[in-house]
Structure formats: C-alpha cells, structure tokens
Structure 1
Amino acid sequence: MNTDRNFDDLAQRFSKNIYGNPKGELRLALSWRELTEKLPSISDGSTLNIWDAGGGLGQLSERFLEQGHRVHLTDISSNMLAVAGERLQDYCEQGQLKIECAPLQNMAVQLAEVDRFDVISCHAVLEWVADAEQVLASLVSCLRPGGYLSLMFYNLNALVLANMVKGNLYKLRDEEFAGHPGGLTPPNPRNPEQVIAELEKLGLQVEAKRAVRLCYDLMPRAVRAERSIEDMLEIDWQYGAQEPFWALGRYVHLLCRKPESL
C-alpha cells in the first residue's frame, strides 16, 4: 500500500545527507532567492502569516522567522520537529513560531476553519505522499485570496535523464524510478506539467517556474567536487527559469498565486 512517508526513523540521517552538503545548500538558496525576488513582502519588513507545510527540520521556517513573519511549522515526523523546535526555541517562546505534528491533510482541515495564510511553502513533500491531488487541494484551501503557494517537488524528468546517463536501460524501459523503501530517494517523483495542470484546475495561477539543482546534478561527481557552490548557484539561477531548463532540474520550484476572486 502506498502511504505518506514519515522520517521519524531517519531524522538525523536526513539532516546530514540532505542539508549538511551542497545538495541542501543549493536547494535552500535557490528557492529562497526565488521567493525574495518574486515576493518583495518576504523581505520588506511586512509581517506575513506563513504555513511551512511538511517543513521538517525547519530550515525554511528559520529564514521566514528571521524576516519577522509569523510561522506555523507542521510535519508528520515528531523527531524532525523536535530538532527544529530545539534550534528555534526562542521564536516559539516569543509566540512567533507554532509547531504541530500532524499529517498535512489533517492540518489543512483544522487550519482552513481558523485562518488563511498569506504564503504557504510546501517543499520536497509532494514526492513522498501517496495522493498528490489531495495534498494540493488541502494547501489551496488554506491559502487566502491573493496569497501565494511556494511548491517544490522531486522531478520525474530529471530522474529519467539521470538514468539515461547511467545507462539504466531496464529501469527506463519499465519506467521504474521509485526509490527503495526506507531510503532517501523519493517513491513518487512528479511530472511538472501534470502538477501544473492540477494547480490550474484548482484555480491557481503559476507565476514562476524554476529548476532547482540543474547544473550540480548534471555534472559527474569528480567535476562537481572541483566547482564552487557559489558558481553552480549562479549558473542554476541564470538558466533555471528558461525553457526548457526549468523542467529539467532535480527539483522544480513553482510559485503560484490564488486569485482574489477565489
């Protein structure tokens, strides 16, 4: 049975393998730059109401908090939230940060009845859930009219390219791209065009599309080790929003707006 992935068993490994290396640095830096450039209210002194849905260890929440925003951080992993809570304890004590452990879909029902958010971030979650359509609908229900959804997900296109480069012809033939159970390769990589179609069906306007980890993931490891994070970041930024490259990064970042009429 395909169920949503909980990282309670891998919280420390996840922290080290994802955020303790260039992969995580690039992912966070590129998505944050996109947010601050496209949404001036993130960094102009405004106070926004933000839901970091499936925010795990709280790296993105921390960026929002540093800008003075009110943040609701949720995840299904109590262990990951415990790590985040310890690091962000001061913000919790000041009432700027609220942390809750619950499935995103359940939280959405509760939150939609109480409040609507100016910004919802949902990064690297969609590829771990069984029902992407339900998750997207849940997020949209909690977004205020005129609000923004920042959605980043593991890209099926990039996985196909990677298997071509590696010569994994049987995987390509059978279209078997899911990661092994218990590992850190997501089981449900998403097709960007299908995700966009679902968002538009829900009434959102896709305002920006960008590849995340484009340059880094196409390089052989030996070459990658000789290049600086800063240089790879700039090349990703230069090409990441262009056709056809936006749809070829290891992750795709979409910035979507909910019309005032919804």
Structure 2
Amino acid sequence: MTPDQPTDPLADQPTDQELLRAHVDGDPDAFGVLFGRHRDRLWAVAVRTMGNPEDAADGLQDGLIAAYRRAGSFRGEAAVTTWLHRVVVNACLDRLRAAKVRRTETLPDDLEEYGNRGSLASATEAEQDPADLSVRDERRRAVLDALATLPDEQRAALVLVDMEGYPVAEVAEMLDCAVGTVKSRCSRGRARLAVLLGVLREDGDAAHPAPGNPDPPRPVRSTTAPRAPPTPADP
C-alpha cells in the first residue's frame, strides 16, 4: 500500500462474531462494544414493538441480558445482528404477551435527534415550512398509534420489514418462523393499517399496498428513530 492510499478505519476492528466469541471467552469489554455497534437499531425495534419508551427499555434490557447469558449458544448459522434482533424481539413479545395489553401511546418528541440512524432517514427540517412539519408530525403519530393496535406478531413483522428495512428472509430468522408466515403477517398488518390510515392515503401521503401483495414498496416508514437508552449493566 502506498502512502497516498487511504486506510480503512474499520479494517483492524474485530467482527461481530469475533466480539461475541471474545465475550464467551471472558473478555469483559467485548459485549459492550458489540452492543454499542447496534444499539440504535435494537432500540428502534424495541420501542416500536412495545409502543412506548418505558416498556421498550425493559424489553431491550431483558433481551440484552438474555443475549449476554446465552452467547455461548450462538452457532453462527445467522449473522450476529440477526441473532441479537431475534433475542430482543422475543423478549419484547414475551413482555407483551405477559401483560396482555395493546399499547396506544405515541412515541416521544425527541425522535428527531436520531433521525439519520440505522436504515431510517429524515429530511432537513430547517428548510421545511413549519405548517408542513406540523402536518407530518400529526400523520406520523397517527401511523404509530395505528401500528400499536396490531397483534404483537404482526407489529413485530411490520417493524422489522417495513420500518427497519430487513429482508423478509432475515426477518423470518429473527422471528423463528417461515418466510411465508412473515409475508402473511405483513400482508394482514398492512391491510389493517390501510383501513386505519385511509385518510392519509386519500391525501396521497401514504402508499398502502393491496392486502394480497406481501412484498410491496414499504408503506409505513417512520422518518425518525428514537433515543437509545444507556448501556445496561452487566448481569
């Protein structure tokens, strides 16, 4: 390599799998580094699955403790990120099933700070009209409220596929179910959201797919991602 060639700052960084193995082998810092890489997307999935930041923090904490303790069971059949999402989503769903509630709270107003994290993106609001921002915020809240009314499994599938942008096959691994099951859950969830959010469709600001199409363009994309909580203490 010549002096003029740029170096890759991540070239010397351990991979996710190497970090997980180091954690299993007793490295006290490896799991924290691994979580730090993926905390924003894990938090986004947790908060959208649970419906509010307080329960999401509990669900994420449960998931991370489970991942910390079960790291030795990871066999490498899937990516480490897929495995982490599976553990966190399952922890959130377990909490929802135990509580037997359907959350309807909207998400907090501090979501804009993480608007460019993960697979999500937001426009530069400084250049937008305040009236437009108010309308957009109202519609985003309507989408989140509608999402909270879905059955837990449908909501989890839609969060991962439509809001986080994961491929259906990878979501099937995360949720430990068949690809067809994920498609079915997404299709039924989208059909339900299309009914609940019909006013948005009439205004031309939300594209809702036909119920029979499992893989249309993503119709329910929030433009922001929530604030991540502090890294949980080691169990």
Do they fold alike, i.e. is TM over 0.5? no
Larger Rg: 2
Short-chain TM bin? under 0.3
TM-score after normalising by structure 1: 0.24
- TM-score under structure 2 length normalisation: 0.26
Q: Quick check: which one's strand share is greater?
A: 1
